[in-house]
Each structure stands twice: as C-alpha cells, then as structure tokens.
Amino acid sequence: MTTRVVLATKNRKKLDELRRILDTEGLDVELLGTDAFPELPDVPETESSFEGNALLKAREVAKATGLPAVADDSGLCVDALNGMPGIFSARWAGRHGDDEANLDLLLGQLNDVPDRRRSAAFHCAAAVALPDGTERVVEGRLEGFILRERRGSNGFGYDPIFLPFGYHVTTAEMTSEEKDAISHRGQAMRSLAPVLRDLLGT
C-alpha cells in the first residue's frame, strides 16, 4: 500500500518539485498538498528560525491529518544586514509576498554597501514529522551576493538580485531545472528523500 505524505503548502510548484525529487529517488509515496484538506487551517510561522518554522508546520499538519507531513521554511540572509531579512524575507516590506516592494526595500538598504560586503545566502530548512512525534530536519544553503539592480524574469522573490558564487547569471536568469539543481530548496528536498525512506520504510 502506497504511503500518503502531506506537503504543508498549497503551492503547486513546491508540490511538483518534491514529487519529481521523490520519484527520482524511487520513493513509493502519494504526495498531497494541504489543499486536499480544506478544513485544515493555515499554520502561522511564529518561531524565530527557519528550522523552528518548518518543524512547527510539519508537526501541526501531521497532528491534524494523522499522516506524515513535510514542511519547509526559507529565506534570504544578507551579511551586511546581520542575517536579515531571514525568516521575514517574504514580508520584509510589510505585506506578505510583495516581491517588488521587498526588492526595492532591500536594494535601498544596501545602496551604500560596497560590492565586497554584499555577500548573502539563501537558506532552507525542510522538516518531516510523523503522527507518533518522530521529527527530522535537513537544510540547504546557496551562497552568493546581492547585485545593485534586477536581472532576469524567471523565479520569484529575491532571485533577480541574487548572483550565486561561481555563476555569471542570477537565479532569475536560470531555467527552472538549472535553479533546482543548485538552489537551497532543491538541496534540502533532495536531502529529505533518504530521511523519508528511512522513516517510512519505503
């Protein structure tokens, strides 16, 4: 019997990405999004770390559904801003998910910061929680630096201003496949596959 696993998101792109990774790893699981459970309330991200928020969401979804649950939390950590926006990345300018406002605010805050001090990293924590209380967390990290203006139209969030170390294109100038291969979320989700295999016995 195929094991059902809930990914704590309504984001179809995240769901499709994890499905691709698990299929590649040969895991026989049926992956569902939280939209399959209309009565399930959103879980506020109230913790002070990526790891804490990922665990909180996975734990609550596993408890509510009685199924193994996977959740992630990610963001951009800028060295010149002492690791901010960090867990506040999606709402840095005040309204959740306003990419353009977030980009404008961050670029303004770094306007006087010299190029040599514009290092940053995308960070992702991915957690799995089982209904019996078993929990695991894995992480992914992509280092680079912040440009002074936008480049590229793919991706989302801070991708147009993030240049990974060793690359000449931003993560917004990469194809989805190129970005998935190096991204913080791709790293974390690939690391999660063997953990799921171990916990679920698949």
Q: What is the pTM of this model?
A: 0.90
How remote is the C-alpha of 74 from its chain's centroid?
4
Residue 196: CB atoms within 10 A of its CB come to 21
Q: Which residues contact 180 (CB under 8 A, 6 or more apart)?
A: 17, 186
What pLDDT, on a 0 to 100 scale, did the predictor assign at position 14? 80
Helical H segments across 66-125, by residue range: 99-109
Residue closest to 162 by CA, chosen among 93, 50, 74: 74
Distances (CA, A) of 127 to 2, 58, 121, 132: 21, 6, 20, 15
What pLDDT, on a 0 to 100 scale, did the predictor assign at position 60? 95
The answer to whether 67 and 2 have CB atoms below 8 angstroms apart is no
Per residue in 1-32, pLDDT tens? 678 999 998 878 788 888 888 887 788 889 99
Could you say which DSSP state residue 40 is in? P
Sheet-wide strand order for 3-7? 29-33, 3-7, 69-78, 119-129, 135-146, 162-164
Per residue in 142-183, pLDDT tens? 999 999 999 999 888 999 999 999 999 999 999 988 998 999
Per residue in 56-70, pLDDT tens? 999 999 999 999 999
Is residue 202 predicted with pLDDT exceeding 70? Answer: no
The residues carrying an active-site annotation are: 73
Per residue in 85-106, pLDDT tens? 999 999 999 988 799 999 999 9
How far is Cα 135 from Cα 142, in angstroms, rounded to an integer? 24
Mean pLDDT of all residues belonging to the chain: 92
Q: Which residues contact 107 (CB under 8 A, 6 or more apart)?
A: 146, 148, 149, 161
Residue 99: CB atoms within 10 A of its CB come to 15
Residue closest to 40 by CA, chosen among 74, 15, 67: 67
Is residue 50 predicted with pLDDT exceeding 70? Answer: yes
Class of domain 3-200: alpha beta
